[in-house]
Chain A
Amino acid sequence: MSRAARTVAALVVFIVSVFPVYWMVLTAFKPTKDIQSATPTFLPASITFEHFGTAVAAKGFFSFWRNSLLVAGGAVLLALVIALLAAFAVARLQWKGRRAFVLMVFMAQMTPWEALLIPIYVIARDTGMLDTLWMLTLVYFMITLPFTIVTLRGFLAAIPVDLEEAAQVDGCSRGQAFRRVVFPLLAPGLLATSLFGFITAWNEFAFANVLIIKDQDDRTLPVWLSSFNNTFGTDWGATMAASTLFMLPVLLIFVVLQGRVTTGIVGGAVKG
C-alpha cells in the first residue's frame, strides 16, 4: 500500500470513528432549536453553554459523581487486589486444579449479568444490603474480576521469573521480591486493566436502578445521564452535554496512560 493510500485510509478510519462522537459534542453546544434542522450543520453557527448549565444544575450532581467515583474506583481496586493474588498463583505456581480454575475464570466472563438482576436483588433484599453502595460495589467488582484475572495473569507471565529469583538470591523474601521487582514492572498493566473495569462500572445502569431504592443520595452517574427525560420526551441538548462530561474521566485516564493502556492490555491477552 502506498503512502498516500495509507494516509487516506487512516483519515477514513479517523473520521468514521470520530464523527458520531463529534456529533454528540456538537449537539451539546447547539441551541435547542438548531438541534433538529432540515439541513444539517457541521460547524456550530452559534454556541451555547445552556445545556452544560442544565446538566450541572441537576439535583444531586455532586453526589452522583462522588458515588460513581467511589463505586467504580472501589470495585476496580478490589478487583485488582484479589485478581493479582489469583493471577500470581496461576502464572507462577504449579498446583492441582490450576487448569480447572483457569477454565472457571474464563467461563465466568460469559455470565449473563442482566439475567442475574432478580436473584441478586432478592439476595440483597434478604440480607439487608439494599440501598447500600457496598452491594453495588461488590456486583461491579464481580463483573470485572474475571477479565482482570485473565489480563493480569498474562502480564505476570510476561515478566521473567529470573528477575524474581535473582532478587531472592540477593536476600529478599518472596514477598519483598514481588513488591520491589515485579510490582513496578506490573504497574502499567495494572492501570490498563483497571481502565476496562472502570468503563464497565462507570456505565452500568440496570443494577444501580434496582439496588438503590429509597436512598436517593446513593444514586450513580448513569441515572443522571438518563435524567433529562421529561413527560414530553428528552432534553437532548442536556443529555449530550452530560454525556460529554461523563466521558471526561475515562479520557483523562487514557491521556495519562497513553500507549501503556494498549500495550498493557495486549501483554495480558497475548499470553491469555
Chain B
Amino acid sequence: MTLLAERPVRTTAPAVPRRRKRVVLPYLLIAPTLLATAYLLLYPLLRNVIISVQEFGLPQLVRGDAKFVGLANYARVLADPEFWGVVSRTLWFTAINVVLIMVLSTLVALLLVRLGKWLRLLVMGGLVLTWATPIIAATTVFQWLFQSRLGVVNWALTTLGFEEFRDYTWFADGEATFGILVTLIVWQSIPFAALSLYAAMITVPQELYEAARIDGAGAWRVFSTITFPMLRAMFGLITCLEVIWVVKAFVQIWVISQGGPGRATTTLPVYAFQVAQSLQRYDLGAAVSMLMVLLLVLALLAYFRQLYRQEREA
C-alpha cells in the first residue's frame, strides 16, 4: 500500500532539485553501478526478452536473421501441461528447502551462541569447510553415499539392522531422489545462513535476555519475543536470498538426476536447460527464464514491498 501512496509524492516532486552542488554527488557515486548494470545486466536481459519473442535456435545463433514471432514461444510454454507441473514442483521444492534451511540454520545458530569457545570453533570450522567445498565435488560425494551397492548410506542402514535397505535403489524412486537433492541443497546452504544468523544473534544486547529470564520466560518465549523481533530484517534478508538461490539451483540436480526419474526432480532451471540446450531452442529457454523471473518477483513481492517501506524510514 505504501508503494501506491508513495507514487504521487514522487511524481509531484520537483524534477530538477536546484539546491546545492552537493546533490550531484550521490548520482556520481552510483553512476558506475548504473552503467555496469545497464550494460552487463539490463542489456543482456533485454536481448533475452528479444530472443524470447523470436524464432531463435542454433541456426539463428550461428547465422543471425531471427524471425519475430510475437508471443508464440510463451504461448507454447504456457500451453505445455508439463510446464505447470514443473512450476508447482519448483514451488514445493523451494518451500521445503527454504523452510528446512531456515529452521535448521536457526537451531544451529542458537546452538553456536550457547557453546563454549572450542566447541564453537569446531562447529564453525565444519560449517566453513562445507561452504568452501566445490559444488561439483560435494554433489559427486552425495551421489556416492547413496549408491545402491557400494554406498555408505545403505551400508550403514543395513549394519544398523534395516535389512530392507540392502541394495536399496535410491535413484530409481522419484521421491527418494527428491529427498536426496533436498538433503544436499540444505546441507550446502546451512553454513551461510547459520553463520550469518549466529553473527546477528551476538549483536543482541545481553541485558534483554537477562531481563526476560528474570521474568521467567522459557527458551521459545525468549526467541519469539526478543531474538526474532530484533533480527526480523536479518531473517527476512536471508530467507529472501535462500529463496532466490534454491529456485535457481541447477548443477546439483543436473549432475545427480538430470531431472529424473521421470520428471520427479525437474525444476524450472532444469526444464529451461533441457529446452534451451538439449533441443537448442534458445527462444523457448529464454521464455521459460523470463517466466521464472516473473514468478520470483511475485513470490518475493511482499518482501520487496516491505523493503521499500523500510527504506523511507531509514
- Interface size (B, Cβ < 8 Å)? 96
B311 with A102: CB separation less than 8 A: yes
The residue on A at minimum CB distance from B151 is A40
Q: What 1/0 flags go to A231-266 for Cβ under 8 Å of B?
A: 000001001100100110011001000000111111
B51 with A99: CB separation less than 8 A: no
Q: For B282, what are the chain A residues with a Cβ–Cβ distance below 8 Å?
A: 118
A23 with B141: CB separation less than 8 A: yes
- 287-303 of chain B: CB within 8 A of chain A: 288-290, 292-293, 296-297, 300
B61 with A110: CB separation less than 8 A: no
Q: What 1/0 flags go to B147-187 for Cβ under 8 Å of A?
A: 00110100100000000000000000000000000000001
Q: For B76, what are the chain A residues with a Cβ–Cβ distance below 8 Å?
A: none
- 95-138 of chain A: CB within 8 A of chain B: 95-96, 98-99, 101-116, 118-120, 122-123, 138
Whole-angstrom distance between the alpha carbons of A203 and B248 in the complex?
A: 15
Q: For A9, what are the chain B residues with a Cβ–Cβ distance below 8 Å?
A: 111
Q: What 1/0 flags go to B104-148 for Cβ under 8 Å of A?
A: 000010010011000110111011111111111110111011000
User: Looking at the complex, which of B80-88, B193-201, B207-215 is the stretch in contact with chain A?
Assistant: B193-201
Q: For B123, what are the chain A residues with a Cβ–Cβ distance below 8 Å?
A: 10, 13-14, 17
Q: B44 at the A/B interface (Cβ < 8 Å)? A: yes
- 136-171 of chain A: CB within 8 A of chain B: 138-139, 141-142, 145, 149-150, 157
B145 with A36: CB separation less than 8 A: no
A89 with B47: CB separation less than 8 A: no
B304 with A107: CB separation less than 8 A: yes
Q: For B45, what are the chain A residues with a Cβ–Cβ distance below 8 Å?
A: 111, 116, 119
- Interface size (A, Cβ < 8 Å)? 88
Whole-angstrom distance between the alpha carbons of A108 and B41 in the complex?
A: 8
The 10 closest A-B pairs by CB, nearest first: A115-B289, A266-B199, A243-B137, A119-B47, A89-B29, A142-B40, A95-B26, A89-B26, A119-B44, A250-B132
Binding site for A on B (CB under 8 A): 6, 10, 13, 17, 23, 25-27, 29-30, 32-33, 36-37, 40-41, 43-45, 47-48, 51, 61, 108, 111, 114-115, 119-120, 122-124, 126-138, 140-142, 144-145, 149-150, 152, 155, 187, 190-191, 195-200, 202-203, 219, 231, 233-234, 237-238, 241, 244, 248, 250, 269, 272-273, 276, 282, 285-286, 288-290, 292-293, 296-297, 300, 304, 307-308, 311-312, 314
CB-defined A-B contacts under 8 Å, sample of 12: A14-B123, A17-B190, A95-B23, A114-B248, A114-B250, A139-B40, A149-B33, A239-B137, A261-B195, A262-B198, A266-B197, A269-B200
Binding site for B on A (CB under 8 A): 1, 6-7, 9-10, 13-18, 20-21, 23-24, 27, 36-40, 82-83, 85-86, 88-90, 93, 95-96, 98-99, 101-116, 118-120, 122-123, 138-139, 141-142, 145, 149-150, 157, 199, 203, 205, 222, 225-226, 236, 239-240, 243, 246-247, 250-251, 254, 261-267, 269-272
11 more A-B residue pairs beyond the given contacts A21-B129, A104-B37, A118-B286, with a C-beta to C-beta distance below 8 A: A6-B115, A96-B13, A98-B311, A103-B311, A111-B41, A122-B61, A203-B134, A222-B136, A239-B137, A239-B140, A251-B128
